[in-house]
Amino acid sequence: MPLNSSGPISIGGSTSGQSINLELGRSATAQSNLNESALRTLAGVASGSISLSNFYGKANVAFTPDGGASAGSPVFLSDLKIFSDQASVTIECNQSATWTWTRAGSFGTASVASGGSSTSISFVMSSSSTNFRSTTYTVSATAGGITRYWSVQLQTEPNL
C-alpha cells in the first residue's frame, strides 16, 4: 500500500499509509533515519536535502523489468527463438502482485491465470517443427497500489 499522498506521515508508527518503516517491511519501532539508503531509495532522493514530504505517494514496489506507467505506454518485451524448444519471458515483483493479461494468438501459456496473484509470471510458447508461431500478451500487474503495463511478444521459428 503506498504512503499517503497528503496528511500525516512519519518514519515510525503502526499505521499503514503513514509509516515509512511499515512500507519498507520493517517493524513500526525500527531505528531508521532519513539518510539511510533504503529510505532515500523509497523517496527517490539519491543525495542532498530530504524531507518527509518526499515520501508522499511512494510505495516499496519493484517490478523487474519495470513496466510502463500507463496502458497507453507499456514496456515491450520479446523473445524470438529459432531452432529452439520454446520462447519465454518472465516478469517479477518484490511482493505479491495481481496479474491481468489477454492473449492475441492461439499459442502459449502463462504461469498465473489472469486475475491471479504471485510474485512472478512467466509466458512460454513451445516451438513447432513446421510452422512459425507468434503470440502477444497484453499484461498489467498491481501491487501495493502501483500498476505497471507490458506488451509481451513470443515468437518461434521451426528448424526446417
How far, CA to CA in Å, does 15 sit from each of 8, 12, 42, 154?
10, 9, 18, 43
- Spatial neighbors of 16 by CB under 8 A, at least 6 apart, are 1, 22
C-alpha cell recorded at residue 38: 533504503
C-alpha cell recorded at residue 42: 523509497
Q: For the segment 66-82, what is each residue's pLDDT rounded down to a tens digit?
A: 999 999 999 999 999 98
- Average pLDDT over all residues of the chain: 93
Report whether pLDDT(107) > 70. yes
pTM for the predicted model, two decimal places = 0.77
What are the chain's domains? Answer: 1-60 (no CATH), 63-157 (2.60.40)
pLDDT (0 to 100) of residue 109: 97
Q: For the segment 47-72, what is each residue's pLDDT rounded down to a tens digit?
A: 999 999 999 999 899 999 999 999 99
